[in-house]
């Protein structure tokens, strides 16, 4: 289990760096969703299921949906 947690932490660090460097906004939203799902897995590994469920629902679910809808509205505006 320790190796899995270390792998998840490294993947978490990589996804946080990737989301800050991406130029494609939709891709950044997807990577942010992956970041939130990894955080939910890590919270579960730390025996905090309430935080894991909250992170999965809010971080990966609602926030991603709001970002995608906002991106859709922004793309619809002609400049």
Q: What is the pLDDT of residue 45?
A: 92
The CA–CA distances, whole Å, from 59 to 21, 35, 53, 76 equal 20, 9, 10, 25
Taking residues 9-17, what's their average pLDDT? Answer: 94
- Extents of the domains making up the chain: 2-72
pLDDT digits (tens, 9 = 90+) for 34-67: 999 999 999 999 999 999 999 999 988 999 999 9
78: tokens are: 């002609």
Look up the pTM and report it.
0.85
What contacts 18, CB < 8 A, 6 or more positions away? 31
Q: What is the pLDDT of residue 70?
A: 93
The Cβ-side half-sphere exposure at 36, using a 13 Å CA radius, reads 19
Q: What is the pLDDT of residue 79?
A: 53
pLDDT digits (tens, 9 = 90+) for 59-78: 889 999 999 999 999 887 66
């Amino acid at each position: 289990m320790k190796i899995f947690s270390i792998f998840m932490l490294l993947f978490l660090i990589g996804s946080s760096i990737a989301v800050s460097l991406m130029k494609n906004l939709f891709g950044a939203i997807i990577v942010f969703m992956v970041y939130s799902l990894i955080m939910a897995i890590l919270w579960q590994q730390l025996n905090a299921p309430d935080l894991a469920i909250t992170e999965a629902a809010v971080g990966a679910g609602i926030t991603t949906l709001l970002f995608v809808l906002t991106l859709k509205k922004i793309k619809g505006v002609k400049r």
